[in-house]
Amino acid sequence: MHGLDLLSWILWMPIIGVLGVLLLPNEKTTAIKTWALINTIITFALTLVLWSKFNQDIPGMQQALSVRIPWIPQFHIYYALGVDGISLPMILLTGLLFMLCILSSWTQIKKSIKAYFALLLLLQSTVLGVFMSLDFFLFYVYWEVMLLPMFFLIGVWGGENREYAAVKFFLYTFFGSILMLVGIVALYYVTGQSENSFNILALSGGKFTTQTLSLFGQTVSFSKLFFVFMFIGFAIKVPVFPFHTWLPHAHVQAPTAISVILAGVLLKMGTYGFLRIAFPIFPDSAKYFAHAIAWLGLINVIYGALCAMAQTDVKKLIAYSSVSHMGFVMLGLAAMTVQGMNGAVLQMFNHGTSTAMMFFMIGIIYERSHHRWIVKPDGSRGYGGLYTQLPVYSIIFIIGMFASMGLPGLSGFISEALIFIGIYEKYTTITVLALFGLLIGAAYLLWMFKRMFFGDVNPEIKNYPDMTKLEVAYMVPLCVAVILFGIWPSPILNMMKASVGQLVSLLATF
Amino acid sequence: MINLGSYLAISFALFVCGILVMIARKNIIAMLLGIELILNASALNFAAYTKFTNNNLDGHIVSLFIIVIAAAEAAVGLGIVIRFFQLRESIHIDDAATLQN
Amino acid sequence: MFTNTLFLLSALVTLGGAVAVVYSQNLMHACIYLLASLFGVAGLYACIGADFLAATQLVVYAGGVVILMLFAIMLTGGTGNNINRYGLEKVAAMGNKKTYFFAGITAVIFSLVILKILANVLKAQPASVLAANEPTVERLGTILATDHILAFEISSILLLGALIGAAVISRPRKERHD
Amino acid sequence: MDYTLSTVAPIVLIPFFAFVLNAFIVKKFTKLAVAISTGAIFVSFLFALRIFMDFMNVYSVGYYIHKTFTWFDLSAGSHVFKVNMGIYIDNMTAVMLLMVTGAATLIHVFSTWYMHDDPRFGRFFVYLSLFTSAMLGLVLSDNLLSVFIFWELMGFCSYSLIGFYYEKEGAGNASMKAFMTTRVGDVFFLLGILALWSVVGNVTFVDIYKAIGAGAFNNLYALGIPLATFAGVSVFLGTMGKSAQVPLQVWLPDAMWGPTPCSALIHAATMVAAGVYLSLRMYPLMELGHMLPFIAVIGGITAFGAATIALVQTDIKAVLAYSTISQLGYMVIGIGVGSYNASFMHLITHAVFKACLFLSAGSVIHSIHCQEMPQMGGLRKKLPYTFFAMLLCCFAIAGVPFFSGFVSKDRILGDALVLALTNANHIYKLVALLGFGGAFLTAFYMFRMLFLTFFGEPRDHHIYDHAHDEHLGWNSNVPLLILSLFTLGLFYSGSFTGQGEVNLFGSKNEWFSTLIHKPDATSLHHFSEYKAEEFGSVDTRDKVQLTPAVYDENHGMSEHVAHEIHQIHHIGAILSIIIAFCGIFLAYSMYIKKSVNPGWWTSTFANWTKALKNKYYFDDLYVGKIIQKGLLPFNDLLSRFDMGFFDKYAIDGWASVNRWAFTISKWFDNTIIDSGMVDGTGASVRMMNVVLRTVQSGKIQMYFIVIVVVLAGYVWTLSF
């Protein structure tokens, strides 16, 4: 009989929070918020404890921290949790961002506060579950359950077109996960429904290179077919180019905190899926499709950046910039070199912090103006002169914007540079083209900044107050993270490098 | 003389008395008395079976819990009766035939 | 010998009390008869060496439940057979011929079935040597705190719930004006 | 002198910590922040001076300090990947450090006066501190990656300072333009870094030199181009962005939206020179990639083109901005014609006199609150010290003998002339022509500016009368005078060891060309002995064994060729003196004597004048044509395609298909299933409930009877 282990504590702590929120009466909004905040702080503290217990030299899963308990023994389904260098940064990011999101929702959410915070905490638990699961079935369960709070959070607390966005988000992601489910079931049968049929670690290592199956009378490689299935499933979440259109809708309609979570954490679940599932289980196919993935990543980078430049809605602009930045992650993954992979995982973390900053900042200005137009539909400017009116806001916005742009000294640069170093050796043409993404990336952000912040003060914004203490309080941790990991990336890189190195070695053998 | 048969017989008799009280009375409190009888009958049965089989005291435990439940039931039941009386000025069982009002 | 006497006496008191509860037309009397019956059951427990059970029976029933019922009886009807606003007696009658008839029929049907089963059971029951009566308190305590700890804990929650529930239910409330 | 963290790092870190500290305290303690900032750069200057003195003591070509530390390490299992950062100090770095810290100190001091009344006085110093630390970091860098990092940081500071007056729309446009234009170059620079990384395995200067010396670039291609050329062009594009070479020069004139001291520091003395510095560092790569002619032509076009535009400018800062572009062009010519140390010397001399010119212009602007030269005139009497400083600087930039600009520029032009006359590649003839032509124009427009500002009668009496009289002040005009002192050629062409004579025409044994040697193909083998050391380890190099400093101008040439080159150099020197005086004379006759009417020129060459006024239509092309007509509509189209077509039809189209299927199934459901079968069931249920309702009497005792009887029946069936 052993007590609840650390990973389970982290995973179930938000559920305790949900129960607490549900027990509190509707009218006690401050109590609900405080409880949710305390809960997320504890969760974040626990993730930090996890970091302190983490042994950076172990390439695979941390045995000391893993859990594996039978859940549905009849189908060999386990409650299996584990953490390695790839999931730890994501767990830390999740812990941090949810804590800040509770703070940002403090004043911004005004209706059904109890339900909102309960759903937010539920979402945190499911996201953590995705990043910790080592059982394919458990992974899938968390992956699906995550949709539920997300659907309601967008659909109930969103903007004017929220139902459309929520349904679209739900159906789109659901479509992807169904493809993934097909893959899970196929793996279950091809491994003979044995003890390890849902064990992600046991499935990894390229065990399905020779199997074939007959499909419509054609002999198809098992590995390639189901790699494509899984790829689409995860690509929708990333989102990779042809599957990206749910993102602008969802972002524009979602409330601020949910946008932050969506861009900061949920998009990373897609790339995390590649790293944890698609690549290790089908390394031969990953290698086979690497060039195609690199081209898709390139399209993401350029297409997202060009679309972002045309937007007049700030939030939509940042949403498209997420598409562009996640393209860099795809490039790093496609490189399959130490530099590229490390860069990709680092970019996942860094994009999480910088894009969270941007969405928070947009949320803060939205609170004041109740619109997000850079240029209003009638052609007049939406803001203008914010620099004069809101100096503190502007400075923090600049930090976030330049981090997002990849300015050296801020976090985005190192990951992007590593990705480029990694991919240059493999695909020079793609590198040259992707570099233009950096250029356009600077262009749309600076142009947005110019139109919103420079110039004389727009009379409409004359009475906007500068950032409140609360708003500064939840931006400061992100600023610190962005600057600290820009100057000194070793803490994050050290925790991931052994695990990433192992994955690269695996891919290199095929 | 002291054997399982006699205990079962006594318990049976108690049980039948309880049923009679439950059905024949129109007074809610009187019906509760019947319930007590029925509960006692079953408790007695458990204790007896333990004694006359393997004497491992599990029956005693069940009997104890029956007593506990009986106490709880009496408390809640009588509470309801008193409340009902406050509302309806009656403890006639036929007054309690509707779900609302 | 003493045990046999005790057993006979207890059985008589038990059954007599039960029958008296059935025929008594006064609620207060019925309650006292019930008390007697419960005492009898305690005696029956004692006869088979269930000392703790017997004691609990006395304490809880005699000391608790029956007193509670007496309180309830006194709270619900001190003023005689008045007719309330719904056209029924305030303190209901203890039954009439019709109800007794239905009750009797039901009891007979039930008894037939039970007696049939009992016959089977008693036939199959081997004559066993009775274990000597020993104090059960210590063993009961051990079993309660180990094998039946969950049930024990749940029963404590049940009692708490019943306590609060009874208090909440019987508390008089103001009529809402809405 | 020991080179440890505590003697080198403060150069960068003190201004950086000043920046961090000031960023927090500047709002409340503005004066303190300013003092901290200025003090920090002065301390940096002392450290740099110490290093410089040490290098002068050793006085050796081969003396270098190379210390590294691991920034981060991705090695795992069999994969090894480390990113090292470090400092690399050689003679060039030592000189550069002294120049940057010295100029920055004086500009900081000047700014305490110039910016004093600005509402954002403190904030300006915050940016300046960050900028100087970045620039010093760049200079100390031992590898291209850290150069790139500091390069971009400077770009950010430049962006912030150009947009310093953020309430002005134009400042916003200018800052964005500056950042984006340099970003074009930066992106290519990054590409060059990637290309070098793929060959060398890291991007340390010394390792790149070693790799070039070992022939690692032979037979390597990227996108069908020889890799050395590919990487070289990429890196040089970075230079073109930062050093404002054609066609990426458009941002620098707009950068004048920033406060004048920042123009002096960033857009004249240091940051723009960083591009040239980078190309100098990568000189062996440029040579290997056969791109020196290309570089020379770019430099020539820039030098001449910018000078022509400067002719028609009326804004004093605009003239200086174009002259900066033009002078940077000369440095690039210097790289292109292999005049390595002259190019670097011009970088240093230009930094000094251009910083001084900008500060003088700042002094003028501060005094009369106006930047338009047609409204000035006769300020000589009001601003005597400024006039004196500016005069010296104009002499320097025009290439008057005994002044610094002459020493450096003459040598670049001399080498260009040598190549024009001896090299088979005829493009060098064009370069020499452009170079000399530019020199003439430089002398003319600089003195035009000087005469229009300080001489003649005041053209706008209102402005003149309100001008403040100048008094000598430690932070107003003393920095100008100090800087102007260093425009004397003596400092650059002298010898510090007493081994050779002071030669004002700059030839033998002067310290600059002795110490700074071109790392060309013949000298690269030295670098195989170079060794980086970890910070904190004991310095193992023995200074005694270092190569003694010998100036070897004619290395590996025959006597005859050397003599011929010497002759051409003399011709070049005489030619540039004549040209400089011609330029000055023309300006004199136009604006003092008024014997030549400038109006005649502008009306005769009206089309040209218009082209010059419009800066050769570069802005129209970039902003008007490429961005407004090309990029933005394309983006718009793409965005509309994404949401209006792709999302609407390809994605939501599935929903329409579903809806169609749903309509059919709905009809089926409603008419057949629902009305027929389901409602039929409902009706039958309704019938039944009439019967069953009577059972639900609510009589508990009835229920109890039923329960008992049913139970009995059940038990009965079980037991029999």
Size of interface A-D (CB pairs under 8 A): 158
User: E strand or H helix at D57, and its extent?
Assistant: helix D30-58
Give the CA distances from residue A449 to residues A146, A168, A257, A356, D680, in Å, rounded to whole numbers and listed in that order.
34, 30, 22, 17, 66
Angstrom distance (rounded) from CA B77 to CA B74: 5
Burial D386-424 (b: 16+ CB within 10 A, else e): bbbbbbbbbbbbbbbbebbbbbbbbbbbbbbbbbbbeee
Size of interface C-D (CB pairs under 8 A): 25
Angstrom distance (rounded) from CA A500 to CA A502: 5
Instruction: Quote the domain boundaries for residue D394.
Output: 291-493
Angstrom distance (rounded) from CA D719 to CA D260: 108
B101 vs A270: which has the higher pLDDT: A270
B99 touching D, CB under 8 A?
Answer: yes
pLDDT tens digits along A167-183: 888 888 888 888 899 98
| Stretch 371-390 of chain A: residues touching chain D, C-beta under 8 Å | 385, 387-388
**In which band, very low, low, confident or very high, does the pLDDT at A122 lie, cut at 50, 70 and 90?**
very high
Angstrom distance (rounded) from CA A288 to CA A301: 22
The answer on D360 and D456 residing in a single domain is yes
Q: What single letter denotes the amino acid at residue D350?
A: H
Best A173, A245, A445, A506 member to test D by mutation, with max D CBs in 10 Å, is A245
pLDDT tens digits along A360-407: 999 999 988 888 888 888 888 888 888 888 888 999 999 999 999 989
The answer on D628 and D481 residing in a single domain is no
- How far is C177 from chain B, CA to nearest CA, in Å? 16
Cα dihedral D316, D322, D325, D328 in deg (nearest 10): -60
Nearest CA to B37 among C40, D33, D38, A285?
A: C40
- How far is B41 from chain C, CA to nearest CA, in Å? 9
Instruction: Record the tokens describing residue D594, joined without a space.
Output: 């008024």
D33: pLDDT strictly greater than 70: yes
Cα D107 to chain centroid distance, Å, stands at: 18
- Is D533 part of a structural domain of the chain? no
Angstrom distance (rounded) from CA D485 to CA D497: 22
CB contact under 8 A, A454 and D166: yes
* Cβ A55 vs Cβ A100: under 8 Å: no
Task: Choose the weakest-confidence range: A32-36, A168-172, B87-91, C44-48.
Answer: B87-91
Q: What percent of chain D has pLDDT over 90?
A: 27
Given this model, what pLDDT does residue C80 score?
54
Q: What single letter denotes the amino acid at residue D718?
A: L
Say which of C37, C151, C158 has its CB closest to residue B37: C37
Write the CB contacts of A382 (distance below 8 Å, at least 6 apart in sequence). Answer: A312, A369, A371, A372, A373, A374, A375, A376, A452, A458
| Region D394-401 average pLDDT | 89
- Is A1 part of a structural domain of the chain? no
pLDDT tens digits along D155-182: 999 999 998 888 888 888 899 999 999 9
User: E strand or H helix at D717, and its extent?
Assistant: helix D700-719
The answer on D310 and D265 residing in a single domain is no
Q: Find chains touching chain C: ≥3 CB pairs under 8 Å.
A: B, D
CATH number at residue C71: 1.20.120.1200
Number of domains within chain B: 1
| Region B88-100 average pLDDT | 72
Say which of D171, D631, D642 has its CB closest to residue A307: D642
Measured at the CA of D12, the angle between CA D10 and CA D17, to 5 degrees, comes to: 80
The answer on D208 and D344 residing in a single domain is no
Instruction: Record the tokens describing residue D150, joined without a space.
Output: 């500091």
Instruction: Record the tokens describing residue D570, joined without a space.
Output: 């003399």
C167 touching B, CB under 8 A?
Answer: yes
Structure-token match 């029963």, residue found: C155
Percent helix, percent strand, percent coil in chain A, to nearest 5: 75, 5, 20
Angstrom distance (rounded) from CA A428 to CA D482: 51
3-state secondary structure of D526: helix
B97: pLDDT strictly greater than 80: no
Give the CA distances from residue A10 to residues A125, A264, A345, D8, in Å, rounded to whole numbers and listed in that order.
8, 19, 22, 46
pLDDT tens digits along D322-372: 999 999 999 999 999 988 888 999 999 999 999 999 999 998 888 888 888
Nearest CA to A330 among A298, A355, A286?
A: A298
Integer-rounded Cα Rg, in Å, for chain C is 21
Given this model, what pLDDT does residue A4 score?
65
The answer on D260 and D191 residing in a single domain is yes
CATH number at residue B23: 1.10.287.3510
Residue where a domain terminates, one of D290, D317, D347: D290
- Is B101 part of a structural domain of the chain? no
Write the CB contacts of A43 (distance below 8 Å, at least 6 apart in sequence). Answer: A10, A13, A14, A17, A95, A98, A99, A124, A128
Angstrom distance (rounded) from CA A328 to CA B58: 69
- According to DSSP, the residues that pair with C62 across neighbouring strands are none
Q: How many residues belong to chain B?
A: 101
**In which band, very low, low, confident or very high, does the pLDDT at D691 lie, cut at 50, 70 and 90?**
confident
Angstrom distance (rounded) from CA C53 to CA C61: 11
pLDDT tens digits along D448-465: 999 888 888 888 888 878
Q: What percent of chain A has pLDDT over 90?
A: 41
Task: Choose the weakest-confidence range: A362-371, D411-420, D537-546.
Answer: D537-546
Q: Is the dihedral of CA D187, D192, D193, D197 positive or negative?
A: positive
- Is C91 part of a structural domain of the chain? no
Given this model, what pLDDT does residue C93 score?
64
User: E strand or H helix at A455, and its extent?
Assistant: none
* Cβ D121 vs Cβ D113: under 8 Å: no
pLDDT tens digits along D553-591: 555 567 777 788 888 888 888 888 899 999 999 988 888
Angstrom distance (rounded) from CA A496 to CA A501: 8
**In which band, very low, low, confident or very high, does the pLDDT at C125 lie, cut at 50, 70 and 90?**
low
Given this model, what pLDDT does residue D495 score?
58
Measured at the CA of D99, the angle between CA D96 and CA D103, to 5 degrees, comes to: 145
| Stretch 38-77 of chain A: residues touching chain D, C-beta under 8 Å | 59
Angstrom distance (rounded) from CA B21 to CA B30: 7
| Region D492-506 average pLDDT | 53
- How far is A500 from chain D, CA to nearest CA, in Å? 8
DSSP character string of D281-341: HTHHHHHHTT-HHHHHHHHHHHHHHHHHHHHT--BHHHHHHHHHHHHHHHHHHHHHTT-HH
Given this model, what pLDDT does residue D504 score?
44
Q: What single letter denotes the amino acid at residue A88?
A: L
* Cβ A244 vs Cβ A170: under 8 Å: no
Average pLDDT of chain C to the nearest whole number: 81
* Cβ D296 vs Cβ D176: under 8 Å: no
The answer on D112 and D261 residing in a single domain is yes
Helix (H), strand (E), coil (C) string for chain C: CHHHHHHHHHHHHHHHHHHHHHHCCCHHHHHHHHHHHHHHHHHHHHHCCCHHHHHHHHHHHHHHHHHHHHHHHHHHCCCCCCECCCCCECCCCCCCHHHHHHHHHHHHHHHHHHHHHHHHHHHHCCCCCCCCCCCCHHHHHHHHHCCCHHHHHHHHHHHHHHHHHHHHHHCCCCCCCC
Instruction: Record the tokens describing residue A102, joined without a space.
Output: 């509770």
- How far is D520 from chain A, CA to nearest CA, in Å? 28
C73: pLDDT strictly greater than 80: yes
D59 vs D498: which has the higher pLDDT: D59
**In which band, very low, low, confident or very high, does the pLDDT at D437 lie, cut at 50, 70 and 90?**
very high
| Region A305-321 average pLDDT | 90
C81: pLDDT strictly greater than 70: no
Say which of D697, D698, D704 has its CB closest to residue B23: D704
Say which of B23, B94, B96 has its CB closest to residue D705: B23
Measured at the CA of C89, the angle between CA C84 and CA C95, to 5 degrees, comes to: 160
- Is A368 part of a structural domain of the chain? yes
HSE of D264, CA atoms in CB hemisphere, 13 A = 30
**In which band, very low, low, confident or very high, does the pLDDT at A121 lie, cut at 50, 70 and 90?**
very high
The answer on D327 and D279 residing in a single domain is no
- Is B86 part of a structural domain of the chain? yes
**In which band, very low, low, confident or very high, does the pLDDT at D593 lie, cut at 50, 70 and 90?**
confident
User: E strand or H helix at D429, and its extent?
Assistant: helix D427-454
| Region D627-636 average pLDDT | 83
Angstrom distance (rounded) from CA B31 to CA D298: 110
Instruction: Quote the domain boundaries for residue B79.
Output: 4-96
**In which band, very low, low, confident or very high, does the pLDDT at A129 lie, cut at 50, 70 and 90?**
very high
Q: Is the dihedral of CA D628, D634, D640, D642 positive or negative?
A: negative
Angstrom distance (rounded) from CA D197 to CA D199: 5
Given this model, what pLDDT does residue D549 score?
53
D62: pLDDT strictly greater than 70: yes
**In which band, very low, low, confident or very high, does the pLDDT at D236 lie, cut at 50, 70 and 90?**
very high
Task: Choose the weakest-confidence range: A125-129, A382-386, D490-494.
Answer: D490-494
Instruction: Quote the domain boundaries for residue A322.
Output: 6-508
D708 touching C, CB under 8 A?
Answer: yes
- Is B51 part of a structural domain of the chain? yes
- According to DSSP, the residues that pair with A77 across neighbouring strands are A72
| Region D279-299 average pLDDT | 90
CB contact under 8 A, D699 and B19: no
Burial D704-713 (b: 16+ CB within 10 A, else e): bbeebeeebe
Angstrom distance (rounded) from CA D110 to CA D455: 25
Number of domains within chain A: 1
D707 touching C, CB under 8 A?
Answer: no
How many other CB atoms are there within 10 angstroms of residue A2's CB atom? 6
Instruction: Record the tokens describing residue D141, joined without a space.
Output: 């860098």
C57 touching B, CB under 8 A?
Answer: yes
Number of domains within chain C: 1
Given this model, what pLDDT does residue D468 score?
77
Instruction: Quote the domain boundaries for residue C38.
Output: 1-76
Q: Is the dihedral of CA D539, D540, D545, D550 positive or negative?
A: negative
Given this model, what pLDDT does residue D542 score?
46
| Stretch 167-206 of chain A: residues touching chain D, C-beta under 8 Å | 168, 172
Cα A209 to chain centroid distance, Å, stands at: 30
The maximal CA–CA distance of chain B, rounded, in angstroms, is 54
Angstrom distance (rounded) from CA D136 to CA A331: 34
Angstrom distance (rounded) from CA A293 to CA A305: 18
Angstrom distance (rounded) from CA D299 to CA D659: 66
D546: pLDDT strictly greater than 60: no
| Stretch 319-358 of chain A: residues touching chain D, C-beta under 8 Å | 338-339, 342
Pairing mode of beta strands D82-89, D65-73: antiparallel
Residue where a domain terminates, one of D290, D317, D336: D290
Nearest CA to A106 among A31, A164, A42?
A: A31
Angstrom distance (rounded) from CA A125 to CA A130: 9
Average pLDDT of chain D to the nearest whole number: 84
Contact list in C for residue B39 (CB cut-off 8 A) is none
